[in-house]
Amino acid sequence: MAGAQEKTEKATGKRLSEARKKGQVALSRETNTLVVLCASLALSMLTCRQIYSHFQQLVVETWGGGFSRGDDSPFDARLLYDTGYHMVMMMGPFCLTILLVGVLTNLIQMKGFTISTEAIQPKLDKLNFIKGFARFFSLRSLSQLLKNLLELTIICFAVYRVMAANSEVFVLLVDQDLDALLHSIGALAIKLVLMVCVWMLPVCALDFAYQRWQHRKDLRMTKQETKEESKQAEGDPKVKSKIRSIQMALARRRMMAAVPKAQVVITNPTHFAVALEYKPGMEAPRVLAKGMNRIARNVIKVAREHGIPVVRNPPLARALYKQVNVGDVIPAALYKAVARVLAYIYQQKGRSVG
């Protein structure tokens, strides 16, 4: 009984869809952070000159302008506008990049756009102290703690490596002018972020794989759950209708593939079409394919493409369509009528050969 309750089965498509609607998706926050960090680093390297230019103008206009005056000069709206403009030009691209890259990374990880309000809905279970305490000491919380400690270690080690490798630069910073100081600090910051990105890459790869594995594990089902879901799916009228349509499509495809084997196609001429096969040794002619309207036209088209005679005989075509299923031999009552058609076909073939 205990074995039946073990979640050993993979999640079905329905289970995955329901979990997605609830906002339960595999998501690696560390991967998001790394991608955003790399994008910001690339942007800073591409636009460092523009950033420096705006920062320089900001410093000149702010500290060399009205903010540095000690008099009671009137409020300078132009100075405030210029300050805001340079701040936006410096920080705007980074904020926009972080927003767009973060959203895009989430969409890629979640394989599409998902909106769910269930995660933020108030639930009494969230106020349960015992369950909250258990979650705090769960494997998931422990893994998150280890990841945070590892990330902190990487950042601290990266700072140490950069400072140790550039100790002489730090000593000379105090003697540099503003331009050289900004260039030196920018270069050191880029080195630091680049080192963090490189060392965080394997951590993020492992976290991405772990989140996928954990998500699949959380959604596993018991054998009983899969059986119940299968029964529900089979009882769903929409599912039944879809299964029937698929079966009918497959049957029509097989039927059309058998038309080239026929000796004759008897038509109405366009409303009904029945393809008959008869070879020496057969008990009686057999219906290979039949159809009405569009299917009848397709049967006739395939027959003509393969050089199969098409004979117009409305009464016989209707009788064969209504009385004989595909794959069955014709009834004895239709032997004479079909025999006359076959004799006519053989006679025409003999004349064409002669």
The tens digit of pLDDT for each residue in 255-290 reads 999 899 999 999 987 789 999 998 888 889 999 999
Whether 324 maps to a domain, the answer reads: yes
Does pLDDT of 351 surpass 70?
no
CA–CA distance, 109 with 106 (Å, rounded to integer): 5
Percentage of the chain surpassing pLDDT 70? 83
pLDDT in tens, 108-165: 887 766 666 665 566 555 556 566 556 666 777 787 888 889 889 988 998 898 888 8
User: Do 186 and 286 belong to one domain?
Assistant: no
User: Do 38 and 81 belong to one domain?
Assistant: yes
Whether 344 maps to a domain, the answer reads: yes
- Count up the domains in the chain and report the number: 2
User: Do 257 and 210 belong to one domain?
Assistant: no
Question: Which of 226, 303, 217, 233 has its CA nearest to residue 267?
Answer: 303
Least confident of 37-41, 62-66, 333-337: 62-66
User: Do 196 and 246 belong to one domain?
Assistant: no
Does pLDDT of 203 surpass 50?
yes
Does pLDDT of 352 surpass 50?
no
Q: Which domain does 60 fall in, by range?
A: 10-116+128-221
Cα maximum dimension of the chain: 121
Write the single-letter amino acid at 8.
T
Does pLDDT of 100 surpass 70?
yes
User: Do 320 and 217 belong to one domain?
Assistant: no
The conformation of residue 207, written as its DSSP 8-state character, comes to H
Whether 1 maps to a domain, the answer reads: no
Kindly report the pTM of this predicted structure: 0.51
Strand 264-267 relative to strand 286-292: parallel, antiparallel, unpaired?
unpaired
Question: Which of 56, 138, 129, 125 has its CA nearest to residue 90?
Answer: 56
User: Do 56 and 198 belong to one domain?
Assistant: yes
User: Do 250 and 215 belong to one domain?
Assistant: no
Q: Distance of CA 352 to CAs 31, 50, 215, Å?
A: 76, 87, 71
pLDDT at 37: 86
pLDDT at 268: 85
Q: Are 109 and 33 in contact (CB under 8 A)?
A: no
Question: Which of 9, 25, 14 has its CA nearest to residue 107?
Answer: 25
Residue with tokens 């079909």: 338
